[in-house]
């Protein structure tokens, strides 16, 4: 079911207020208009990892580098400020634009969850990806 911008804002507000193991961000374009959101969630300080989520709902903003920029910022925040070792995510295998974006940001393919999602009348694989702090260290 499509979500309205006000519904997304309200959900984000509720999550941010109630979940201390998450960091939520609203993505703004150059005109300071909200175009999506990004989060680090399931932050696990013991194992030093977290899951990354990204959603750019404003189609006019697609393909303009916002996703790559936001992922880079969040990953650096996770490694440098939260002292995490790994950031991971899952992405549907038919979302080629997102997969390319994650690869550009340094994420590696770790595995495939076969027939994980049923959408548009068919099953779709979900890809598990991650980046380690050591992957980004310049030698």
Higher pLDDT, 71 or 56: 71
pLDDT band at 139 (very low <50, low <70, confident <90, very high): very low
| pLDDT at residue number 17 | 61
**Residue from 66, 102, 123, 128 carrying the catalytic annotation:** 102
Res. 19: pLDDT tops 60:
no
Residue 42 has pLDDT above 60, yes or no: yes
What are 57-86's pLDDT values in tens digits? 778 878 888 889 999 999 999 999 999 999
Identify the band that residue 5 occupies on the pLDDT scale cut at 50, 70 and 90.
low
- Compute the distance between CA of residue 69 and CA of residue 43 in angstroms, rounded to an integer: 21
How does the average pLDDT of the chain come out, rounded? 87
CB–CB of 99/81 below 8 Å?
A: no
Considering its fold, how many domains does the chain have in total?
1
107 in Cβ contact with 120 (< 8 Å): no
pTM, two decimal places: 0.81
Does residue 21 have a pLDDT over 50? yes
pLDDT at 29: 80
Domain that holds residue 72: 5-136
The question of whether 102 is a catalytic residue gets the answer: yes
Nearest-CA neighbor of 129 among 83, 65, 94, 86? 86
pLDDT band of residue 2 (cuts 50, 70, 90) is low
CATH code of the domain covering residue 17 = 3.40.630.30
Of the candidates 77, 105, 73, the one whose C-alpha atom is nearest the C-alpha of residue 91 is 105
């Amino acid at each position: 079911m499509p979500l309205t911008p006000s519904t997304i804002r309200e959900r984000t507000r509720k999550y941010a207020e109630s979940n201390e193991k998450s960091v939520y961000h609203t993505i703004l374009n150059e005109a300071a208009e909200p175009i999506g959101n990004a989060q680090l969630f399931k932050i696990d300080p013991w194992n030093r990892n977290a899951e990354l989520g990204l959603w750019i709902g404003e189609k006019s903003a697609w393909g303009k580098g916002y996703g790559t920029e936001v992922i880079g910022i969040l990953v650096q925040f996770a490694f440098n400020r939260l002292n995490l070792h790994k950031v991971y995510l899952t992405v549907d295998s038919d979302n080629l634009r997102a997969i390319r974006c994650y690869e550009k940001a340094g994420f590696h393919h770790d595995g495939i969850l076969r027939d994980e999602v049923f959408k548009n009348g068919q099953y779709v694989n979900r890809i598990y990806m991650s980046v380690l702090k050591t992957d980004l260290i310049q030698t």
